[in-house]
Amino acid sequence: MPGLIDQQHDTFLRLFAEHEPAVRTFVRSLLPSRSDASEVMQEVAVVLWQKFAEFDASRDFRKWAFGVAHYEVLTYLRDQARDRHVFDDALVNRLADAAAAAEPRHDAQRDALEACLEKLPPAQRELVLCAYAKGTRIDGLAVQRGQTPMSLYKVLHRIRQALLECVQRQLAVEGPQ
């Protein structure tokens, strides 16, 4: 049945491309570090493809993908249980429920962020984007700027808090999501 398989393959590509950013954000929400999230996301992509034949096309792909991602996060965290400062199962479950419910708000926040970034003073905008650029090390960036890493973190915290408050204000003006 090569035709059916090709159709399944193409359907998966379309659905995964559409929902990958939301699934990635969901995974990131449940894990304390970006590198953990990246590692789990690779696993999630593989499992989604492996299980796609079992997916009921009448269901919501994103919800299904969130369920798979939730399970993969729990498995990953159990493997990391030697670190007592990671989330336990109960907290992951609470965060997963909250993250799924917050998805429309988070979509709107991501849309609003671009305008809020433009409102930042140029030096702050450059700094935060530079800090988030792949390969940037905060300690190296601090040395370049003649700061201690601790003082640079504090600057970044103030910028992020300002950005978050900006997007929250903007959404409050636009109305409930």
Least CB distance from residue 134 to another protein, whole Å? 6
| Binding residue (CB under 8 A) for another protein from 59, 63, 78, 94 | 94
* 115: contact with another protein by CB under 8 A: yes
Number of continuous H segments (helices) and E segments (strands) in the chain: 8, 0
* 110: contact with another protein by CB under 8 A: yes
Q: Which is nearer to another protein, 82 or 85 (CB)?
A: 85
Give the CA distances from residue 153 to residues 61, 86, 94, 159, in Å, rounded to whole numbers and listed in that order: 38, 22, 29, 10
How many CB atoms lie under 10 A from the CB of residue 92?
Answer: 19
> CA torsion 129→28→167→148, rounded to 10°?
-40
d(CA 117, CA 167) in angstroms, rounded, equals: 10
> Helix or strand or coil: residue 105?
helix
* 70: contact with another protein by CB under 8 A: no
Mask of contacts with another protein, 20-59, x by CB under 8 A? xx--xx--xx--xxx---xx-xxx-xxx-xx-xx------
| Binding residue (CB under 8 A) for another protein from 59, 63, 119, 157 | 157
| Binding residue (CB under 8 A) for another protein from 54, 118, 121, 172 | 118
* 138: contact with another protein by CB under 8 A: yes
* 5: contact with another protein by CB under 8 A: yes
* 143: contact with another protein by CB under 8 A: no
| Binding residue (CB under 8 A) for another protein from 61, 66, 77, 109 | 109
Residue 101 amino acid letter: A
Give the CA distances from residue 11 to residues 5, 17, 22, 30, 41, in Å, rounded to whole numbers and listed in that order: 10, 10, 18, 28, 20
| Binding residue (CB under 8 A) for another protein from 57, 82, 122, 175 | 122
